[in-house]
Amino acid sequence: MSEQTRSVMAEEARRATGAGDVGRRIAARRAELGMTRQDVALRAGIDAGYLQYVEQQPSAAPGTSALIRIADALDTGVAALQGGGAGLPPGAGRAADHSELIELDPAECRARLSTHGVGRIAAHGADGLVVLPVNYSVADGSVMFRTAPGSVIATAVGARVAFEVDHVDEALSQGWSVLVQGRARAVTDADAVRRLDALAYSRPWAGGAERDLWMRVDEERISGRRIAAH
């Protein structure tokens, strides 16, 4: 994806801040996936002008059929676009009557990791095993994230860790997960750090302490699974 395309999507997402909640979530999810309005409209079988209206107008109230098509195009669920799961852990819906657990090959695992998002890093700390959420990016084929020097995760440099990311579709009772296992390594080269700072999609959501220590997971094994509902 070109820098020009990234800039256009960022500007569209910024303009959507005055829109309704559904419109903001659609714009944010689209930007997260690196998709233009035309991309989503084509997938959903709707007009790109209508999608722009939904994203930018506070009074827009897309019908159930349109929302289902937009959610499917964005690889998410209607409930997620409507904010129905806000404040609740994912997966509260009932299991589908007929579902199948499918193993993902390494290429599909890496595709689902995409380029950024929120995942969980697991490592052994002084008080035992800990699992913490982190904002991550993918650069040079490796999972990268920032943490604070002296944090529990920072002490895992050189140790084996596990990184997991997943997606749950409440409406369809399906989802996927990807697990990366390997060794944690601190990125100390100044040029590499500057490059990662420039490539990072977002600052760490947690804010607060300076999280300026970049770490990477040197992949030793990658695996994934997908639940498909029929």
CATH 2.30.110.10 fits 100-229, yes or no: yes
Rounded to two decimals, what is the model's pTM? Answer: 0.65
The size of the chain, in residues, is 230
Give the pLDDT confidence of 119-155 residue by residue, as tens digits.
Answer: 999 998 878 899 999 999 999 889 999 998 888 889 8
Find where tokens 């722009």 sit. 52
Q: Is 97 left (phi over 0), alpha (psi -120 to 50) or beta?
A: alpha
How far, rounded to the nearest angstrom, does the alpha carbon of residue 109 sit from its chain's CA centroid? 13
More reliable by pLDDT, 39 or 126: 39
Instruction: Report the distance separating Cα 174 and Cα 176, nearest Å.
Output: 7
Q: What is the pLDDT of residues 71-82, one digit of tens each?
A: 999 988 888 888
Please report, rounded to a whole number, the percentage of residues in the chain having pLDDT higher than 70.
Answer: 85
Which amino acid type is present at position 153?
A: I
Res 219: pLDDT: 95
Q: What is the dihedral of CA 176, 205, 192, 157, to 10 degrees?
A: -70
Distance CA 158, CA 195 (A): 22
On whether the CB atoms of residues 137 and 146 are closer than 8 A, the answer is: no
Distance CA 1, CA 79 (A): 28
Q: Which CATH number fits domain 3-82: 3.30.450.80, 3.40.50.150, 3.50.50.60, 1.10.260.40?
A: 1.10.260.40
Residue-wise pLDDT tens digits, 4-35: 444 444 444 444 444 468 898 999 889 888 89
Structural domain boundaries of the chain? 3-82, 100-229
